């Protein structure tokens, strides 16, 4: 396997995004130093700049989890095979993806240990020990962890053997509370995707065939990529009593009856970063939405001759901004300003602050927005030094809104409400985007569409037109569904 070390392509240029999204994506992830391929098939290293994205995702999601009453905990990486196999659907869903530990130290193990592909099992076993009474409920726990699913392909963030994620696991006294929790966390994910990552999504219910193994109902948020394929960006599962019955998680209710709890689980992984990169990037490279940006603004001092005045002023301003909580950097490397502009544009920093000799005289900086094209209205803003602290926050918010609006416009212009069967199949086949139809909800119908077009349901919502028939098959429609090809 160690030959893989050599196989990382040397990225010189980023290919045009529209021509080959996949090549563009890989080149951007590598060249911007978000990731490197690791010497283990299917694995990547999250480099500091990529980890900076993950830290911001963690910060914003974790705040939201805590604000909704959740606490973090940590459960073991290894799960004995005998425990994993108790919930039948679950094990069937995950067994083909499990990496097995069979030797420890010098010893062959009597029982294989699975590296967690997800933690419902180990957490269910612990909840069975911890929960005794209705007073112990609800249990609202989240875990930030690495998980592993056997996988040979490697696409940074989208498809890797090991990945980072969070997994929430909760237990409730009633089905109603569990369903409310499932929906609440879906709302948290929607809020995060749109208001932090600036990625508009459709939130809804998964079809039966797309459900999490062992779930009663799975919800998802789905984003649309520039190639017309959908990317599932987070899921929230109502597990009903399936896991509590398999792992015997019971409580004494206030009526003195022993009952099984209702559980949920919900997760977002570094896949969300992949969605964000594809949605926002352009031919110059990454465009990182400000709330996710490891560097919100980069100073490029323009040095004339031997004078270090611009560099010193940039450092002074940067320190003042840091004291106000901004994430800023000063690029004082021995390179031309043009080289630095291209470099930081490629790395997607939302704002560039240029300080040249004339700016020093007038005590103003030129702030350049990454979200706009060169020459576009508002792409450059002159800001007096003493107003940078106040103005940057506004500008970053404006960049966020403009990036969100651009992505929203794309999503809306690539969402089609279709009533004609032929048009539906044609749009599915040509990967036109999100194809919205009244749908019967039958697995057979979904399977036929998939066989003919390779599109599947992304998620569903209540039927928008009472009495409509399924556009795909003509049976009575039960819901509205977005169909799309997907990652």
Which residues are near a second copy by CB under 8 A? 1-2, 5, 8, 36, 38-40, 43-48, 50-52, 54-55, 71-80, 82-83, 96-107, 111-113, 115, 122, 125-126, 128-130, 141, 145-146, 148, 150, 161-162, 164
CA distance 213 to 118: 11
CB of 227 to a second copy, least distance (A): 28
CB of 151 to a second copy, least distance (A): 9
Nearest to 302 by CA among 290, 294, 313, 310: 310
* Closer residue to a second copy, CB minimum distance, 99 or 473: 99
CB of 359 to a second copy, least distance (A): 28
CB of 7 to a second copy, least distance (A): 11
* Closer residue to a second copy, CB minimum distance, 55 or 283: 55
Q: Do 128 and 248 touch, CB atoms closer than 8 A? A: yes
Residue entry with tokens 């990182």: 288
Residue entry with tokens 């060169």: 374
Cα radius of gyration rounded to whole Å, the chain? 25
Integer angstrom CA distances of residue 186 from 201, 233, 244 = 11, 11, 22
* Closer residue to a second copy, CB minimum distance, 77 or 473: 77
* Closer residue to a second copy, CB minimum distance, 59 or 176: 59
* Closer residue to a second copy, CB minimum distance, 145 or 379: 145
Phi, psi torsion values for 230, nearest 5 degrees: -85, 150
The two tokens of residue 326 are 């901004």
CA distance 415 to 407: 12
Phi, psi torsion values for 5, nearest 5 degrees: -55, -35
CA distance 473 to 444: 10
* Closer residue to a second copy, CB minimum distance, 33 or 405: 33
CB of 276 to a second copy, least distance (A): 17
* Closer residue to a second copy, CB minimum distance, 157 or 404: 157
The DSSP letter of residue 165 is: E
Q: Do 134 and 144 touch, CB atoms closer than 8 A? A: no
CB of 318 to a second copy, least distance (A): 15
Q: Do 439 and 472 touch, CB atoms closer than 8 A? A: yes
* Closer residue to a second copy, CB minimum distance, 130 or 339: 130
Phi, psi torsion values for 40, nearest 5 degrees: -130, 125
Q: Do 236 and 185 touch, CB atoms closer than 8 A? A: yes
* Closer residue to a second copy, CB minimum distance, 249 or 395: 249
Residue 379's SS3 state is: coil
Phi, psi torsion values for 22, nearest 5 degrees: -65, -45
CB of 77 to a second copy, least distance (A): 5
CB of 76 to a second copy, least distance (A): 4
Bridge pairing between strands 71-72 and 35-37: unpaired
CB of 306 to a second copy, least distance (A): 21
Nearest to 220 by CA among 30, 49, 152, 210: 210
CB of 441 to a second copy, least distance (A): 32
| Burial label, 334 (beta-carbon count in 10 A; 0-12, 13-18, 19+) | exposed
């Amino acid at each position: 396997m160690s030959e893989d070390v050599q196989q990382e392509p040397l990225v010189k240029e980023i290919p045009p995004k529209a021509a080959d999204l996949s090549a563009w994506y890989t080149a951007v992830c590598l060249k911007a130093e978000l990731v490197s391929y690791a010497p283990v098939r299917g694995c990547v290293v999250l480099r500091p700049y990529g980890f900076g994205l993950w830290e911001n995702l963690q910060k914003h999601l974790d705040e939201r989890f805590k604000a909704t009453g959740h606490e973090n905990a940590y459960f073991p990486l290894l799960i004995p095979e005998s425990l994993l196999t108790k919930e039948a659907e679950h094990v069937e869903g995950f067994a083909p993806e499990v990496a097995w530990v069979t030797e420890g130290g010098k010893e062959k193990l009597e029982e294989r240990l699975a590296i967690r592909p997800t933690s419902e099992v180990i957490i269910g076993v612990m909840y069975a020990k911890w929960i005794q009474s209705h007073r112990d409920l609800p249990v609202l726990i989240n875990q930030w962890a690495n998980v592993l699913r056997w996988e040979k392909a490697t696409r940074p963030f989208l498809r890797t053997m090991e990945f980072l994620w969070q997994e929430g696991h909760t237990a409730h006294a009633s089905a109603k509370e569990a369903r409310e929790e499932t929906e609440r966390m879906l709302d948290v994910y929607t809020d995060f995707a749109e208001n932090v990552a600036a990625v508009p999504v459709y939130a809804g219910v998964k079809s039966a065939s797309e459900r999490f193994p062992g779930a009663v109902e799975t919800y998802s948020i789905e984003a649309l990529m520039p190639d017309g394929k959908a990317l599932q960006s987070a899921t929230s599962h109502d597990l009903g009593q399936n896991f509590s019955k398999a792992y015997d998680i019971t409580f004494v209710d206030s009526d003195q009856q022993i009952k099984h709890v209702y559980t949920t689980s919900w997760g977002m992984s570094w896949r969300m970063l992949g969605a964000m990169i594809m949605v926002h990037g352009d031919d110059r490279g990454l465009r990182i939405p400000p709330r996710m940006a490891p560097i919100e603004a980069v100073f490029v001092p323009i040095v004339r001759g031997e004078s270090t005045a611009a560099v010193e002023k940039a450092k002074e301003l940067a320190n003042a901004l840091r004291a106000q909580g901004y994430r800023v950097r000063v690029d004082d490397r021995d390179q031309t300003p043009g080289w630095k502009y291209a470099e930081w544009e490629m790395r997607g920093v939302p704002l560039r602050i240029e300080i040249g000799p004339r700016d020093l005289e007038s005590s103003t900086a030129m702030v350049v927005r990454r979200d706009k094209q060169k020459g576009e209205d508002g792409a450059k803003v002159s800001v007096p030094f003493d107003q940078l602290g106040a103005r940057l926050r506004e500008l970053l918010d404006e960049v966020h809104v403009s990036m969100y609006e651009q992505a929203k416009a794309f999503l809306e212009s690539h969402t089609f409400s279709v009533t004609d069967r032929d048009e539906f199949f044609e749009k599915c086949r040509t990967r036109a985007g999100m194809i919205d139809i009244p749908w019967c909800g039958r697995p057979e119908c979904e399977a036929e569409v998939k066989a003919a077009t390779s599109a599947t349901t992304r998620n569903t919502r209540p039927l928008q037109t009472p009495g409509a028939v399924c556009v795909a098959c003509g049976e009575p429609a039960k819901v509205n569904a977005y169909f799309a090809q997907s990652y």
